[in-house]
C-alpha cells in the first residue's frame, strides 16, 4: 500500500482518506509493516491498512491479534479473556487460535497433496524395486548357461557380480536421470503457482537419488549373489 500510494517517499506522518468513510476524515500513518499474506498464503500480498479500535469503527466481528513471548499460549488466552471480561462481562470471544494453527489450516489442501504424493512416491519406489528385482532375476535365469560357461572358463565371482550389477546400474542411471529431470520441471511449475516455494535444492535431489540407489542395491543383491553361486556343471545342464 505504501509503495503504491507514495512510491519510494517516506509515508510516516502523512495522511490518507477513504471515500467510504462517512466523515472522510484523514488518518495519519504512524507505521509501515512488511508485506504479509493476511488472507491467503497462496496469493501475492495485497494492499492493506490496519486501524486501532479507538480510531476506526470496529466491524461486526472484529479480529484481535495478540503478540506474546510466552510459550504457554493457553495462559495467554485466559489472560486475554479475563481482560475482556473486565471491560465487558460476557463479551463473546471465539475462534481463538495461534498463528501457527491458522497457517496449518490454510495449507490443509497442500498438506493432503503432499501426503498423497509421498504415499504415491513410496508406492512407486516399491514397484521400482520389485520390478528391478524381477528383471534381474529373470535375466540371471536366462543367462544361467552363459554364466556357467564363463565360470568354467575361469571367470571369477567378482566379474560375474559386476556383469549382473552393470545391467542394473544402467537401468537405475537412466531412470534416475529421467526422474531428476521431471522433478526439476515439476518444481519450477510448482514455484510459479504456489508462493513461498523454495528454489531447487541440490541436496534434496542427491538424497533422493541416494535412497533410490540404496533400495536398488538391495533389489539386485539377491540375483547377483545367486549368479555368483551358480555351479558350472549344473549350469551347463540347465538347457
Q: Tell me the pLDDT tens digit for each residue of 10-65.
A: 999 998 887 766 667 788 899 999 988 877 777 778 888 888 777 666 556 677 88
Which DSSP helix (H) or strand (E) runs through 15?
Answer: strand 15-16
Cβ contact 45:37 at 8 Å: yes
Q: Is 147 exposed, middle or buried (0-12, 13-18, 19+ CB in 10 A)?
A: buried
Q: Which three cell numbers stand for residue 130?
A: 520389485
- For residue 234, what pLDDT is reported? 67
Residue 197 lies in a domain: yes
Q: Which of 219, 224, 238 is nearest to 146 (CA)?
A: 238
Residue 37 lies in a domain: no
The span from the CA of 104 to the CA of 118, in Å, is 18
Residue 81 lies in a domain: no
Cβ contact 230:155 at 8 Å: no
Cβ contact 132:220 at 8 Å: yes
Output 108-112 pairs: Cβ under 8 A, ≥24 positions apart.
110/194
Residue 160 lies in a domain: yes
Q: Would you say residue 116 has pLDDT above 90?
A: yes
Lowest-pLDDT choice from 101-105, 127-131, 201-205 = 201-205
Residue 96 lies in a domain: no
Mean pLDDT of the chain: 80
Q: Would you say residue 238 has pLDDT above 60?
A: no
Residue 75 lies in a domain: no
% of the chain at pLDDT higher than 70: 86
Using DSSP's 3-state secondary structure scheme, residue 194 falls into: coil
- For residue 199, what pLDDT is reported? 64
- For residue 119, what pLDDT is reported? 93
Average pLDDT, stretch 92-118?
A: 85
Phi, psi (deg, nearest 5) at residue 24: 50, 35
Q: Tell me the pLDDT tens digit for each residue of 148-162.
A: 777 777 777 778 777
Residue 8 lies in a domain: no
Residue 101 lies in a domain: no
- For residue 57, what pLDDT is reported? 60
Average pLDDT, stretch 137-153?
A: 75
Kind of pairing between the strands at 15-16 and 27-28: antiparallel
Q: Would you say residue 101 has pLDDT above 70?
A: yes
In this structure, the number of other CB atoms found within 10 A of the CB of residue 225 comes to 13
Q: How many domains does the chain have?
A: 1
Q: Give the domain range for residue 217.
A: 107-236
- Is the pTM value of this prediction over 0.75? no
- For residue 22, what pLDDT is reported? 65
Q: Tell me the pLDDT tens digit for each residue of 189-221.
A: 776 666 556 666 778 778 877 888 888 888 877
The span from the CA of 224 to the CA of 140, in Å, is 8
Which distant-in-sequence residues (6+ apart) come within 8 Å of 190 by Cβ? 197
The span from the CA of 74 to the CA of 67, in Å, is 13
Average pLDDT, stretch 176-196?
A: 75
Amino acid at each position: 500500500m505504501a509503495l503504491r500510494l507514495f512510491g519510494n517517499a517516506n509515508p510516516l506522518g502523512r495522511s490518507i482518506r477513504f471515500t467510504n468513510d462517512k466523515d472522510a476524515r484523514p488518518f495519519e500513518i504512524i507505521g509501515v509493516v512488511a508485506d504479509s499474506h493476511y488472507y491467503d498464503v497462496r496469493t501475492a500480498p495485497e494492499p492493506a491498512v490496519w486501524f486501532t479500535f479507538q480510531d476506526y469503527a470496529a466491524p461486526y466481528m472484529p479480529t484481535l491479534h495478540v503478540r506474546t513471548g510466552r510459550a504457554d499460549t493457553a495462559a495467554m488466552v485466559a489472560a486475554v479473556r479475563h481482560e475482556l471480561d473486565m471491560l465487558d462481562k460476557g463479551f463473546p470471544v471465539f475462534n481463538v487460535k495461534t498463528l501457527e494453527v491458522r497457517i496449518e489450516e490454510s495449507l490443509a489442501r497442500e498438506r493432503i497433496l503432499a501426503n498423497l504424493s509421498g504415499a504415491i512416491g513410496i508406492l512407486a519406489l516399491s514397484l521400482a524395486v520389485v520390478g528391478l528385482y524381477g528383471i534381474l532375476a529373470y535375466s540371471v535365469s536366462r543367462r544361467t548357461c552363459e554364466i556357467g560357461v564363463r565360470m568354467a572358463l575361469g571367470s571369477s565371482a567378482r566379474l560375474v557380480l559386476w556383469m549382473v550389477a552393470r545391467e542394473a546400474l544402467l537401468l537405475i542411471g537412466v531412470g534416475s536421470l529421467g526422474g531428476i529431470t521431471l522433478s526439476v520441471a515439476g518444481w519450477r511449475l510448482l514455484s510459479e503457482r504456489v508462493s513461498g516455494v523454495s528454489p531447487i535444492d541440490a541436496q534434496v535431489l542427491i538424497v533422493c537419488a541416494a535412497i533410490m540407489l540404496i533400495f536398488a542395491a538391495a533389489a539386485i543383491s539377491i540375483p547377483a549373489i545367486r549368479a555368483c553361486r551358480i555351479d558350472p556343471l549344473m549350469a551347463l545342464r540347465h538347457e
